[in-house]
Amino acid sequence: MYEQKSDLKSANLMDATRLLSWVRHNAAPLFSGAARSAFIATSILRVLARTGYIHEAVIEDISRSAQAIGSELVRDFQRLERDVFMARYGHIRPGTFDITVPRYDQEPEKYFSFLDATQAQPDVRDTGSFVELSASDIARIDAHFAALGYNFNWARFRTFAASAIHAREYVKFLYTKQVSDALEIISNVGVQYGCNREEMSFLTLSDIENMLDFTSDIDRRIREISASNRVSWQQSLPVRLPDLLTSPDDIFGFEVEASAPNFVTYETVQAPVALSLDNDLRGKIVFIETADPGYDWVFTRGIAGFITRYGGENSHMAIRAREFGIPAVVGAGRHYDKWKTFSVLRCDCRARRVEPII
């Protein structure tokens, strides 16, 4: 792990660039490797489910048994003192890479209701046990693996899958801490020169590294670079790119493919909707445009379910839904705007259906 200053406010720009360099060359490859292992594991599980070797419930069970960071955060929120909890999780922020968004430890009351910690818990499922397959089912899977040339059986693969999913979440947690700390150092450097977070957000990594060579008028140069980059960003807003670029020609024309929402877990819930994360979320179906690890705090509010516009079956929020056994629709796409117009929804993940009630 990279050794950095414990007091981020005393760190300088050199500390930030060194930390980001360490993230780029060490943490990022480690995280990408862990993520790839988990992706391979879940892909194999999906194929087994589609071809009838296992039930979808087995996938959800393995995800829950992985004991990922989300479950730990919720349990720690319930049992740890506030300062201890923040010392471990305070670096997390919604929008992981967005320097303008406050971290948990900067605005804790915005994210957590500490006075209601013991009652705001979702139903965190017991972990450590698997859905047991019959001996004949296991034999079929083992024979299938052997026919494909795999040198492992179901028992070994199941252990690997749970370990890979856990490793991805744990390494992601460590990776995002380094990124978050680097962003705070950059923000504090901006404060030294009278520049706010929004101005600093328009600096590229190269801009920040080049600042090390500045010897005078640093505040003016930061603002000039930031303003220029902001103009470029604004000019890019009307441009829409495809989800997948396969050639330079895709920039000039492409077809938008319709995507089906991902229904996660086999649970059903009927509840009022919450469109704003500032309101009371307990017992509600929460709408979140797009979510990353920084939104794990919503699972301390006893939500009934959630719907996101973006995301896939292997996305962070899909993993959390399986981990907590919460009904969710991830990657609702064009349905997102329609569903959010209703006050009460019934989400039946088993039937893959969302119905408006009111």
Residues 74 and 158 both lie in one domain? yes
* Claim to verify: residue 96 and residue 226 sit in the same structural domain: no
Spatial distance between the Cα atoms of 5 and 296, rounded to a whole number of angstroms: 26
For the cut 70, the answer to whether the pLDDT of residue 102 exceeds it is yes
Residue 332 included in any domain: yes
What is the number of residues in the chain? Answer: 358
Distance in angstroms (rounded) separating the CA atoms of residues 229 and 54: 51
Region of 329 (left: φ > 0; alpha: ψ -120 to 50; beta: rest) is beta
Domain count, the chain: 3
Give whole-number Cα distances, 168 to 22, 30, 41, 56, in Å: 19, 9, 11, 21
Asked whether residue 142 is domain-assigned, the answer is yes
**Strand partners for 330:** 262
- Answer whether residue 265 shows pLDDT above 70: yes
Q: Are 168 and 266 members of one domain?
A: no
Q: Which two tokens stand for residue 349?
A: 């993940």
Most confident of 133-147, 200-214, 252-266, 307-321: 133-147
- Could you tell me the CATH number of the domain that includes residue 320? 3.50.30.10
Report pLDDT digits (tens) over 180-196. Answer: 999 999 999 999 999 99
- Through-space distance between the first and last CA atoms of the chain, rounded to whole angstroms: 51
Instruction: Examine the pLDDT at 322 and tell me if it is beyond 50.
Output: yes
Q: What is the pLDDT of residues 220-235, one digit of tens each?
A: 999 999 999 999 999 9
Percentages (nearest 5) of helix, strand, coil residues in the chain: 55, 10, 40
Which domain range does residue 212 map to?
A: 193-239
Note whether 282 and 302 are same-domain residues.
yes
* Residue 269 CB coordination number (10 Å): 19
Sorted by sequence, the CB contacts under 8 Å of residue 9 that are 6+ apart come out as 188
CA atoms of 11 and 326, how far apart (whole Å)? 41
Give Rg (Cα) of the chain: 23
| Residue 251 located in a structural domain | no
Q: How many Å separate Cα 154 from the centre of its chain?
A: 29
- Is 68 a residue whose pLDDT tops 50? yes
